[in-house]
């Protein structure tokens, strides 16, 4: 139904019908209330790995607030792997020495108007070899609720030692049910690298977001591969449940300026979760501007939650579109080649009228009214992100 509607979304009547049907059939109760728009926040892994500590998290929390990122929408502060210590005689998990009081840290995060996230695995060990949740799902869920956890990233890792592939759904459902039993709303993030076609069943086991890719950490080639391969998954996403192509690499020093604009633009067109992964305490003004551009973030956070898709490709040149709830259209012109090249969007090809008002979202500038088409010269590995009305 959704794909057919997209073929004619330029007409007001059919668009209204599509939105009404989609909203009525894609409601997932508490899940949609927890993640009505793609979750936004910060994750420590790509910057700190197993050196993360209470002090590091607090320092980044302070900048998340003072920099304006919290007010721009970045709410979740997510501690990834390596926080776990040992279990006590009753089987309850305790943090290691780098986190002397997890409840106090959670209280600090909450006092700043933010939400607190943790990490575990359905297997006996996490990716880094710390304690997983295998056979301790209920106890861990109780502990998370007591500490004030708002987000759980659940990483498959060693689960393959104890579960067969066809048991993956049951393993994730088991933790979802444990979290539900606590009575505390905890956003559930499935991290299993796109295995077993997770986009087809993630919502049915309680997932609010699910990784559609392996770990992204790396250069533009991985960012480009993981982002553009999302085309075709748009029917599986919406309020309460989101495809997740992994953490933003912006500010980590692995991408140049144009490549960072490409990732931010594409992730927002994809209605993907926006989790910053950089050291906020040493963030440049350029990085901050990319992460907090309000017009670009609004594309990601549009309440209809429609994921964009590719409408045109010529070798390394691509045009992507995403309809917004105000009936405007966002268009991304992407150049994946090694030299600057012009890219044209033809308005009739995306089911728009001939006369269109064009705004550049990165420049935050109205470009004027155009007839029939708009052409821009796009940098190598770069993007031009437009709003058409």
**Is the pLDDT reported for residue 279 higher than 90?**
yes
Q: Residue 193 and residue 203: Cα distance in Å, rounded?
A: 16
Least confident interval from 13-17, 218-222, 370-374: 13-17
**Is the pLDDT reported for residue 234 higher than 60?**
yes
Confidence band of 24 (pLDDT split at 50, 70, 90) = very low
Least confident interval from 1-5, 319-323, 330-334, 357-361: 1-5
Residues 3-19 have a mean pLDDT of 36
So what's the pLDDT on residue 31? 54
Run of H or E residues at 363: none
Task: Let me know: does 190 contact 209? Beta carbons within 8 Å.
Answer: yes
Confidence band of 218 (pLDDT split at 50, 70, 90) = confident
Instruction: Write the pLDDT tens digit of every residue in 175-202.
Output: 999 999 999 999 999 999 999 999 999 9
Residue with tokens 């977001």: 209
The closest alpha carbon to 38, from 264, 209, 266, belongs to 209
Residues 136-161 have a mean pLDDT of 98
Q: Which entry of 62, 215, 258, 360 is annotated as an active-site residue? A: 215
**Is the pLDDT reported for residue 8 higher than 80?**
no
Run of H or E residues at 378: strand 373-378
Beta-bridge partner residues of 359: 366, 387
Instruction: Write the pLDDT tens digit of every residue in 79-108.
Output: 999 999 999 999 999 999 999 999 999 999
Q: Which entry of 155, 244, 246, 302 is annotated as an active-site residue? A: 155
CA dihedral (124, 179, 170, 196) in degrees, to 10, reads: -80
Query: Is 80 labeled as catalytic in the residue annotation?
Result: no
User: What percentage of the chain carries pLDDT values higher than 90?
Assistant: 91
Run of H or E residues at 335: strand 329-335
Task: Let me know: does 190 contact 155? Beta carbons within 8 Å.
Answer: no
Confidence band of 122 (pLDDT split at 50, 70, 90) = very high
* Close Cβ partners of 286 (under 8 Å, ≥ 6 residues apart): 257
Query: Is 244 labeled as catalytic in the residue annotation?
Result: no
Taken in order of first residue, the domains within the chain and their CATH numbers are 27-300 (3.20.20.70), 309-388 (2.60.40.1180)
Confidence band of 154 (pLDDT split at 50, 70, 90) = very high
pTM, two decimals, is 0.92
* Close Cβ partners of 340 (under 8 Å, ≥ 6 residues apart): 377, 378, 379, 380, 382
């Amino acid at each position: 139904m959704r794909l057919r509607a997209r073929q004619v979304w330029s007409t007001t009547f059919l668009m209204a019908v599509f939105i009404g049907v989609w909203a009525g059939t894609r409601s997932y109760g508490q899940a949609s209330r927890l993640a009505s728009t793609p979750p936004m926040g910060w994750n420590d892994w790509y910057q700190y790995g197993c050196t993360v500590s209470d002090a590091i998290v607090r320092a980044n929390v302070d900048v998340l607030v003072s920099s304006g990122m919290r007010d721009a929408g970045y709410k979740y502060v997510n501690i990834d792997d390596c926080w776990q210590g040992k279990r006590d005689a009753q089987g309850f998990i305790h943090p290691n020495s780098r986190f002397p009081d997890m409840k106090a840290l959670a209280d600090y995060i909450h006092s700043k108007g933010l939400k607190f996230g943790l990490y575990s695995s359905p297997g006996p060990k996490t990716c880094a070899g710390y304690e997983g949740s295998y056979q301790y799902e209920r106890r861990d869920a109780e502990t998370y609720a007591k500490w004030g956890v708002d987000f759980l990233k659940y990483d498959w890792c060693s689960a393959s030692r104890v579960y067969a592939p066809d048991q993956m759904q049951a393993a994730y459902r088991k933790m979802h049910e444990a979290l539900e039993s606590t009575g505390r709303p905890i956003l559930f993030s499935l991290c299993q690298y796109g295995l077993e076609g997770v986009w087809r069943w993630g919502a049915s086991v309680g997932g609010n977001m699910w990784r559609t890719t392996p770990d992204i950490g790396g250069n533009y080639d991985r960012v480009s591969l993981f982002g553009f391969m999302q085309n075709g998954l748009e029917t599986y996403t919406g309020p309460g449940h989101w495809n997740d192509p992994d953490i933003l690499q912006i500010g980590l020093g692995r991408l140049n300026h144009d490549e960072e604009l490409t990732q931010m633009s594409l992730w927002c067109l994809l209605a993907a979760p926006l989790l910053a992964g950089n050291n906020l305490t040493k963030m440049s003004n350029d990085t901050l501007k990319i992460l907090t551009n309000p017009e670009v973030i609004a594309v990601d956070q549009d309440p209809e939650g429609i994921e964009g898709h590719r409408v045109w490709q010529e070798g390394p040149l691509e045009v992507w579109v995403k309809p917004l709830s105000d009936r405007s259209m966002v268009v991304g012109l992407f150049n994946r080649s090694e030299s600057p090249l012009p890219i044209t969007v033809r308005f009739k090809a995306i089911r728009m009228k001939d006369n269109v008002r064009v705004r550049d979202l990165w420049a935050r500038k109205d470009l004027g009214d155009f007839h029939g088409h708009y052409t821009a010269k796009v940098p190598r590995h770069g993007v031009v992100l437009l709003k058409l009305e």
